[in-house]
Amino acid sequence: MKKIISGKVREVYETDDGKLVIVTTDRISAFDVILDSEIPDKGKALNCISLYWFDLTKDIIPNHIISSDLADMPAEFSKDKAYYEGRTVMTKKLKMLPYEFIVRGYMFGSMWEDYKKTGTYCGVPIEEKYVQAEKLKAPMVTPSVKNSEGHDENITLDRLRAEIGKEEADRIADICVKIYTKCREDAAKKGLIIADTKFEFGYDENGVLTIGDEVLTPDSSRFWAAEDYKTGISPRSYDKQFVRDWLIANKLNGVVPAPRLPEDIAANTAKLYKECFTAITGRESYV
Ligand SMILES: Nc1ncnc2c1ncn2[C@@H]1O[C@H](COP(=O)(O)OP(=O)(O)OP(=O)(O)O)[C@@H](O)[C@H]1O
Ligand SMILES: [Mg+2]
């Protein structure tokens, strides 16, 4: 089978009849560099978390998933079930929009940095007074454009409107808020806060807007544990922050060739991904 994309985290194959098989590996990237360590079963956690949210949001927007059952896929993926099961999906091949749609529910990260300095974010003035990590009055959608070097550039909604049309831009922004709002209500029942996330969309063979890639995983989102959420600080997060902190502390952030993580950092990260999977899906095992 033809491999068409080898991304930072996913291997994407195309079937003879024009569908995709997407395998989420255990690779981990931080500061845009793929590290020289794998996080055991991280790919299964990401894939199973995405499948959960795809199902929960299917009434808001169709998604790219065709099947998560290896029996529906080319036979080669059943040869190593222990590896592929739980991390492999068959999807529609979408014509992807070259944007990421970032949805923020809290004043944090780059938004907090910009707001502190300029009182604006991505060209939008922010009138309300916020402290770090405070919930926003309303979720905010900010697109970014994916460029070939792999570094994304934030753009204004107005620029997106000019590029894909006002109606389409507003429709997608509205869908982003609907997905985010529905999922954060679900996550709240499970003790999780979804601080921010990003979505990717494309069009299927009939031109229908469809959500693809991954949805609301710790790789694409910032999750906080509700029990120790406080404003004015950086809350404990269920994502790669662990790894990022270690890289920064050792002055290895963004360094090439990518460093190898110490065993305990890798093991603790694996534990965090598993915990996140269990918290969201209520399940203990991936298959
Ligand atoms: N249904 C789909 N049809 C076509 N392309 C898809 C689909 N779902 C996801 N993709 C693309 O497949 C790739 C997934 O690989 P991976 O997540 O490893 O990429 P990445 O390194 O994050 O790269 P990128 O910066 O492009 O997101 C992404 O480029 C994503 O846009
Ligand atoms: Mg990706």
**What is the tens place of the pLDDT at every residue in 263-286?**
999 999 999 999 999 999 999 999
> What pLDDT is attached to residue 234?
86
What is the rounded (10 degree) CA torsion for 53, 56, 57, 60?
A: 180
Domain 2-94+255-281 matching CATH 3.30.200.20: the answer reads yes
Instruction: Give the DSSP per-residue string, 219-257.
Output: TTEEEEEGGG--TTS---BSSTHHHHHHHHHTT-TT-SS
- Residue 13: phi, psi to the nearest 5? -115, 155
Tracing tokens 């009849």 back to the chain, one arrives at 17
| Average pLDDT value for residue range 126-142 | 97
Minimal-distance CA residue to ligand 1 atom 29? 7
Residue 95 has pLDDT above 90, yes or no: yes
CB 23, CB 10: distance < 8 Å: yes
Mean pLDDT score of the chain? 95
Give the pLDDT of residue 146: 87
Q: Which CATH superfamily is domain 96-228 in?
A: ATP-grasp fold, B domain (3.30.470.20)
Q: Ligand 1 atom closest to Cα of 12?
A: 12
CA distance 16 to 32: 32
Give the residue, by CA position, lying nearest to ligand 1 atom 23. 7
What was the pLDDT predicted at 171? Answer: 98
Report the chain's C-alpha Rg in angstroms.
19
Among the residue ranges 63-77, 98-112, 235-249, the one predicted with the least confidence is: 235-249
Q: How do residues 164-201 score in pLDDT, each as one tens digit?
A: 999 999 999 999 999 999 999 999 999 999 999 999 99
Beta bridge partners of 144: 100, 154
State yes or no: cis peptide before 257, omega within 30 of 0. Answer: yes
Residue for token pair 């970032």 = 102
Q: Give per-residue pLDDT as tens, 14-68.
A: 999 999 999 999 999 999 899 999 999 999 999 999 999 999 999 999 999 999 9
Q: Is 98 in the pocket of ligand 1 (CB under 6 A)?
A: no
Model pLDDT, residue 242: 81
> pLDDT category, 91, cuts 50, 70, 90?
very high
CB 166 within 8 A of CB 137: no
pLDDT (mean) for 224-244: 88
Residue 150: predicted pLDDT: 66
Q: Which of 2, 11, 92, 213 to mutate to test the pocket of ligand 1 (most atoms within 8 A of CB)?
A: 213
% of the chain at pLDDT higher than 70: 100
What number does the ligand 1 atom closest to the CA of 146 have?
25
pLDDT band at 237 (very low <50, low <70, confident <90, very high): confident
Please report the pLDDT score of residue 193 as a whole number: 97
Atom 25 (ligand 1) nearest CA = 150
Mutating to test ligand 1, I would choose from 5, 54, 87 the residue with most ligand atoms within 8 A of its C-beta, which is 5
> Do 77 and 39 meet the contact criterion of CB atoms below 8 Å apart?
no
Burial grade of 155 (CB within 10 A; 0-12, 13-18, 19 or more): middle
The torsion angle over the Cα atoms of residues 81, 50, 169 and 197, rounded to 10 degrees, is -130
Inform me whether the pLDDT recorded for 228 exceeds 70.
yes
Domain boundaries, the chain: 2-94+255-281, 96-228
Instruction: Say yes or no to pLDDT of 206 above 70.
Output: yes
pLDDT at 235 over 90: no
How far from 4 is each of 11, 74, 90, 199, 215, CA to CA, in Å? 8, 16, 14, 21, 21
Q: Confidence class of residue 123 from pLDDT cuts 50, 70 and 90?
A: confident
